[in-house]
Structures are given as C-alpha cells and as structure tokens.
Amino acid sequence: MENSREKILKVKHLKKYFNTPAGILSAVDDINFSIKKGETLGVVGESGCGKSTLGKSILRLEEPTSGDVYFNGKNVTKMDKRELKQIRKDMQIIFQDPYESLNPRMTVSQLIQAPMIIQGIYKKSQREEMNKKTLEIMEQVGLARRLVNTYPHELDGGRRQRIGIARALALQPKFIVCDEPVSALDVSIQAQILNLMQDLQESMELTYLFITHDLSVVKHLSTRIMVMYLGQMVEMGTPQQLFTNPLHPYTKALLSAIPVPDPDIKMQRIQLKGEVTSPINMKAGCRFAKRCLFAKEVCKKENCPLVDVGQEHYVACHLVQQK
Amino acid sequence: MAFLEINKINIDYVTEDGVVEAVNDIDLSLKEGESLGLVGETGAGKTTLAKCIMRILPERTARINSGEIFYKGTDLLKLEPEKMREIRGSEIAMIFQDPMTALNPVLTVGEQIAEAVQNHQKVDDAEAMKKAEEMLELVGIPAARSSEYPHQFSGGMRQRVVIAIALACNPKLLIADEPTTALDVTIQAQVLEMIQKLRTQMKSSLILITHDLGLVAQNCESVAVIYAGEIVEYGTVHDIFKDMKHPYTVGLFTSIPKINEDVKRLTPIPGNTPDPVHLPKGCKFCTRCAYATEKCQNEHPELYQSSEGHFVRCFLKGQGGEKYGKQ
C-alpha cells in the first residue's frame, strides 16, 4: 500500500477550538492525514466546516489547540519563532480573495519582493538580482513585464490572483496551501489559473493542499480528496473512489446536489434535513446524524472512527462499517 | 405578442472614464411560463438588462438610449413611474444576488414580506402579516420566526426570505439574479427546487441570470449567452449545450471542469474580457477568438439563424465553433 514517494506533510490529531460566547467551537476536530510529495490533496466541504481553519492551522497562521503537524519529518507545532520563519520558506499559502489579500499601496514588484526581503534571500546590495528574479517569477505566472510597477487596483481579478501565486512562489516553496484560489474568478479566468497551477506543480514539484467548495474543481485537480463536515473528516479517497463510489451519506448528498452541465442528465438529488449548524459544544455521536436520512441510535450516541474500507478509501460512518 | 418582448435595447453608463456600452441591441422574447437562462461573465451586462426590465437602473449614470420592453403588450419603458411601481413587485419581481444586503436589517422578516404585500394589495396589517407567515411556511421557514430579524437567519434562509418577498404577490415574471451564488451547493439545490416548485404552482416565467452552466442545464428551457453586452448565441437549452456554435460558448464549456467527464487539462479562453470603454470595433469577441479573421476585426457580425430558433452572432457560421469543439 505504501507508495514509494515520501510523505511531505503529516497531520496528527490536529485540533483548533475557538472560544465563543455560545461555547467552544470545534472548527477543526481531530484531523489526521498525510500528503505525499507532488500530490494535491483536495479539501471540500460547505462554509463553516473548518477547511480554511485547517489550512491556516497547518501553517500556524492560526495556533492549533493541540495535535502535531510534521513537515519533512520536523514538527511544525513545536517550532519556536525562528524555526517557524525558516520553515515558512517551504510552506506558503495562496488566499481566496485577490482583492483583499494584497496591500493596495504596494506595486506588483514590491508585493512579489516582500517575501524575499522578509526572508533575507537577497541583501540590499543585490537589488539587481532581486529585480531579475522578480521578472522571472512574473513570467512564470503569466504576468506581463510592463505590469511591474502597477498597483493591484489597476489589475483585474485574474491578474491579482497571479500576483498572489507569484508571492507564494517567490521563496520556492515545497508545499502550498491554496485556500479557494479560483472562487472569486470568472470561469474563463478560473481555467487559466487552474492550468497555471497544474503547470507550476509539475515544473517545481509542488505539493498542494487545495481547499475549495467547488466539487468539479477539486475532482479535476486532486490526487486525493478529503470531505469535511463540522470540523471533522467524514471521507477521504481518490477522485475515482469518491465520485463513483461515495460511501458517507454526506458525501453522497453533496455530490448529488451539483448541477450537471448537461440538460439530458436529470439530477437525482438526495434531500438533506435542515442546514449546517456550527460545531459549538459538540456532544458525542456522529455530527451529521441530525441531518442524515439513515441515522440510527448508535449514530447519535457514539463517535464514529475513520476506517479504511479498502485501498486507502477512508470513511467515518457507523452504517458503512456495520455492513 | 409574446409575454415579454425586448427589442433592440441599448444601455450606456456614463462614467468618469468614458461611456460604457453595457447593453448593445439586445433582442429577447419570453413565452408565458418559460424559463430563460442568461449566461455570461462579470460585466457582460446581464444584471443591467434585468434592472432595465425592472426599471431600477441608477438614474444618474445609466442611460437607456433606445429600445422597447413590451410586457403583455405595454412598453414598460414608457410607463409612468406610478404605473411601473404597481407592476414592479406584483407582476414582475426580482430576486437579488446577495441575501446579506438585500434585506433591511432593522425590520423583522415578517414585516418585510408584509410590506411587499401591502404595497400591492388592499389588506390590513393583520392580514398582510398572515400572508407573510404563509409565504415563510411556503419557503420552508416556520411561521413563528416571522418576528425575527435578518441577522438571526443563515445565508440560505435569508435567501429564502428574499424569495418569499419576491413571490408574495404571485408575480407573473420572476427575475432571479444569481440567486444562489452566495450559497453552498446543498442549499443552492434546495433554493432552486423551491423556485421551480413555486413557479409551476403559480405558472410564472423565469429569467435566471447565472454564470453556472450547470444551473442553466438543470433549470432553463432556453438560453441566451451574453458577451460584452451582446447576445452571441441564443437557442433552446439543447441548442446551446449539445450544438453550440459560437466560439465563446464553446470556450465557456471547455473552461469548466465537468463533474460528469474527465479532462486532463482545461482549455481556457485566452485573455480577458475587453475594456467596456474601448470595445473592439468588429466582433466583440475577436480579440480572444482563435478563429478571428480580418473581417471579424473590422465588421460587426449580425445574428444568423443556424437552425429553427437557434441564433448565432458569428461570421464563421458554426465552422469556428465546430473546430473548437473537436480540439
């Protein structure tokens, strides 16, 4: 079963709880997984399921409540500030909203150079080399040279997201958390950015954690996909496993809700009861039980562990496991 | 005369940077009970057209240069504001994109629905509130929650409140502008099923504005593809999805990863949508089209009929589209 490729990232029992006036919100609750080098792990789920918090906790942009994150064998959660700054060269993030994640008072070149300066890659005397490198990166992400001194507000969403990608690439990272990088873009631009990200992955041997709510995008890009619900992983498998043989009732419902762009295929939607709530003060039992059409007594009482049902297809559901 | 007929409508926005030609010579017609999808990217002019039908364009900046919008035989653009106000909300209603901003935060949802009712029907407060509660139940929200404020609802529920307001007076034409873009897929499916159910009950027509081809395939009978303020292709949902002819339509389809097909690599449309202040002289799509000829750059193509009811604005008469599709 073990692939020969090394595991670049291992996440063990990762938890991130927030204190809210209503109680403790378990945004990320005991998540375990690993990513192999060069892989894309897609993370899907609806708003509020904790997928962004998961990405940020891995990079320690949010301080995890407990659990461990191993990057190339080193425990990121135990690192002090200096070590963390070092490791951030290898671990980067691309944010969702290219309108809000760029400093409006910095030019394109300043934006791309900021990470290099912060990390001390170039000294003051190496201005020229840094400028050369900037142009190289701009070319890599498809930004025209003439844009080097423009400001973000002069550019459209697609180009701004290219800056976001350029910034992440500036330090030649090995691993990038992509937090809904194409959600704010029009379809024709979205396709351009997705192709760019695939090309970069190939040429730079990048590993992605790709967070999105768009199931078509995640199916297109991912080596494996993790489905999250209220802070927990409910299913994980290859796109093939998940899309042809979804096992968890939530995955099934989610897949059945996607409108297929073909008028001859009529949707057979699985109706869900109610809406997603917040994981505040969670009690034992399956978190999906309240909305699940098949929930039994055991589902409401006992937590359901994640079990491998064969060929690294993991699912957390009492009903599947009883079969 | 058709139920709704839009003739050669032209809308400009006057801005500091110049005149933006937002809608150019759009012709459309809609039968009673029909559902039409308006597809296109940001800035294509979809919302401008919808707001024009509702006559809620910003007066200071928007300019309707020419055209007519006949609704059941009356030209909406020539109506007195008072008359239009009677039609707006009762005959034609609109669902807005963002449920977070479409509701008044200081009024309860019940009051907001009742207000819509009382604007058009002579009923007292108690009766209007009763109607509001009925509408809430209809969209799947318990009547008991009518005294709550918008912030107490989730996004999906707020959008349902917006729908309840739009449907409160049984409109004959419903314009839904990206009604589910802000919602999760499972909620999106619920909301659309609800719109469809209510629409069949009330026999209303629907104009669905969206960039999601999946939603169009599942909810519409006819489709208009809009690019830079123009209809570039129009036909039945089968014409557009199974026999697309315009290179832009084809490009839209090759750009999206499809849930029911495996594609290794997407084929995006190169470049960006043209600057609306400086639109290309000939075909508006020529700057991004792989098949553009000199003629495309200099002359503006008219719509031609490729088959019964299927119209395409392209000099290539389907050749380009077909070539594109086979890639």
- Note which residues in 205-244 of chain A have CB less than 8 A from chain B: 213, 215-217, 219-221, 243
Residues B262 and B184 in one domain: no
CB contact under 8 A, A259 and B215: yes
Residues A261 and A303 in one domain: yes
Note whether residue A77 is domain-resident: yes
- For residue A1, CA distances in Å to A4, A310, B246 come to 9, 10, 48
Q: How many CB atoms lie within 10 A of CB A310?
A: 9
Residues A142 and A273 in one domain: no
Note whether residue A230 is domain-resident: yes
Residues B77 and B160 in one domain: yes
CB contact under 8 A, B273 and A276: no
Among B13, B5, B6, residue whose Cα is nearest residue B65: B13
Model confidence over B200-255: pLDDT tens digits?
888 899 999 998 999 999 999 999 999 999 999 999 999 999 999 999 999 999 99
Range of the domain at A292: 7-90+173-322
CB A241 within 8 A of CB A311: yes
Residues A210 and A156 in one domain: no
CB B77 within 8 A of CB B64: yes
Among A220, A255, A216, A259, residue whose Cα is nearest residue A235: A255
Residues B137 and B211 in one domain: yes
Note whether residue B226 is domain-resident: no
Among A231, A287, A306, A319, residue whose Cα is nearest residue A45: A231
> How far A196 CA sits from the closest chain B CA (Å)?
10
Q: How far apart are CA A245 and CA B237, in angstroms?
A: 30
Residues A128 and A242 in one domain: no
Angle at A68 between CA A62 and CA A74, to 5 degrees: 105
Q: What is the pLDDT of residue A2?
A: 46
Residues A203 and A302 in one domain: yes
Compute the mean pLDDT over every residue in chain B, rounded to the nearest whole number. 89
- For residue B23, CA distances in Å to A216, B6, B13 come to 31, 12, 9
Residues A215 and A316 in one domain: yes
- Answer positive or negative: Cα dihedral of A267, A271, A274, A277: negative
Note whether residue B137 is domain-resident: yes
Residues A34 and A127 in one domain: no
Can you state the angle between helices B185-202 and A249-256, rounded to 10 degrees? 50
> Which chain A residues are closer than 8 Å to B222 by Cβ?
none
Which residue, A165, A195, A212, sits at the end of a domain? A165
Element (H, E) at A193: helix A187-204
Angle at A200 between CA A197 and CA A202, to 5 degrees: 110
Substitution target from B255, B264, B267, B324 for chain A, most A beta carbons within 10 A: B255
Residues A63 and A198 in one domain: yes
Inter-chain contacts counted by CB atoms under 8 A, chains A and B:
118
Instruction: Count how many residues are written for chain B.
Output: 327
Note whether residue B231 is domain-resident: no
DSSP B56: -
Q: How many CB atoms lie within 10 A of CB A148?
A: 16
Residues B53 and B143 in one domain: yes
Model confidence over B89-135: pLDDT tens digits?
899 999 988 777 889 999 999 999 999 999 998 999 999 999 999 98
Residues B17 and B160 in one domain: yes
The side-by-side arrangement of strands in the sheet containing A23-36 is A23-36, A7-20, A66-71, A74-75
Model confidence over B138-186: pLDDT tens digits?
888 889 999 999 999 888 888 889 989 998 888 999 999 988 887 788 8
Q: What is the pLDDT of residue B325?
A: 42
Residues A257 and A317 in one domain: yes
**Structure-token pair, residue B113:** 């629905």
Residues B162 and B292 in one domain: no
Nearest-by-Cβ selection for A267 from B218, B237, B270: B218
Note whether residue B103 is domain-resident: yes
Q: pLDDT band at B318, cuts 50/70/90? A: low
Element (H, E) at B114: helix B109-120
Range of the domain at B297: 247-326
Q: What is the pLDDT of residue B323?
A: 47
A195 touches chain B (CB under 8 A): yes
Among A24, A4, A11, residue whose Cα is nearest residue A56: A11
> Which chain A residues are closer than 8 Å to B255 by Cβ?
187-188, 190-191
The CA dihedral of A109, A115, A121, A127, to the nearest 10 degrees, is: 20
Residues A137 and A84 in one domain: no
Which residue, A146, A165, A184, sits at the end of a domain? A165
**Number of domains making up chain B:** 2
Note whether residue B64 is domain-resident: yes
Q: What is the residue whose two structure tokens read 């996909």?
A: A225
Q: Three-state SS across A241-310?
A: HHHHCCCCHHHHHHHHCCCCCCCCCCCCCCCCCCCCCCCECCCCCCCCCCCCCCCCHHHHHCCCCCEECC
Q: What is the residue whose two structure tokens read 């005294």?
A: B147
Q: What is the pLDDT of residue A103?
A: 93
Radius of gyration of chain A (CA): 21
Angle at B163 between CA B159 and CA B167, to 5 degrees: 175
- 3-state percent breakdown (helix, strand, coil) of chain B, nearest 5: 35, 25, 40
Note whether residue B171 is domain-resident: yes
What residues of chain A score a pLDDT lower than 50?
1-3
Contacts of B60 (CB under 8 A, 6+ apart): none
Nearest-by-Cβ selection for A156 from B217, B269, B272: B272
Residues A177 and A296 in one domain: yes
> Which chain B residues are closer than 8 Å to A156 by Cβ?
272
> Which chain A residues are closer than 8 Å to B269 by Cβ?
188, 191
Nearest-by-Cβ selection for B260 from A189, A221, A265: A265
Q: How far apart are CA B220 and CA B85, in angstroms?
A: 28
**Number of domains making up chain A:** 2
Contacts of B197 (CB under 8 A, 6+ apart): none
Q: What is the pLDDT of residue A209?
A: 97
CB contact under 8 A, B189 and A46: no
Single pTM value for the model: 0.88
Contacts of B174 (CB under 8 A, 6+ apart): B92, B93, B94, B95, B166, B167, B195, B199, B204, B205, B206, B207
Phi/psi zone of residue B167: left (φ > 0), alpha (ψ -120 to 50 degrees), beta?
Answer: alpha
CB B74 within 8 A of CB B11: no
Which residue, A165, A200, A216, sits at the end of a domain? A165
A156 touches chain B (CB under 8 A): yes
**Structure-token pair, residue A176:** 């990038």
CB A176 within 8 A of CB A183: no
3-class state of residue B301 by DSSP:
coil
Q: How many CB atoms lie within 10 A of CB B127?
A: 14
**Structure-token pair, residue B226:** 């809009």
Neighbour-count burial of B111, counting CB atoms closer than 10 A to its CB (0-12 exposed, 13-18 middle, 19+ buried): middle
Model confidence over B14-49: pLDDT tens digits?
988 889 999 999 999 999 999 999 999 888 899 999
Note whether residue A2 is domain-resident: no
ipTM for the whole complex: 0.84
Side chain identity at A88, as an amino acid letter? R
> How far A323 CA sits from the closest chain B CA (Å)?
27
Note whether residue B273 is domain-resident: yes
Q: pLDDT band at B2, cuts 50/70/90? A: confident
CB contact under 8 A, A276 and B252: no
Nearest-by-Cβ selection for A188 from B157, B193, B252: B252
Substitution target from B185, B223, B258 for chain A, most A beta carbons within 10 A: B185
Q: How far apart are CA A145 and CA A160, in angstroms?
A: 14
Q: How far apart are CA B193 and CA B195, in angstroms?
A: 6
In the predicted structure, residue B327 carries a pLDDT above the cut 50: no
Q: Which residue of A has its CA nearest to B193?
A: A269
CB contact under 8 A, B256 and A261: yes
**Structure-token pair, residue B74:** 């009356």
Note whether residue A1 is domain-resident: no
Q: What is the pLDDT of residue A1?
A: 40
Note whether residue B238 is domain-resident: no
Side chain identity at B273, as an amino acid letter? T
Q: How far apart are CA A162 and CA A94, in angstroms?
A: 10
**Structure-token pair, residue B59:** 């007066």
> Which chain A residues are closer than 8 Å to B266 by Cβ?
191, 194-195, 220
Q: What is the pLDDT of residue B301?
A: 94
Q: How far apart are CA B254 and CA B273, in angstroms?
A: 17
Q: Domain holding A38: CATH number?
A: 3.40.50.300
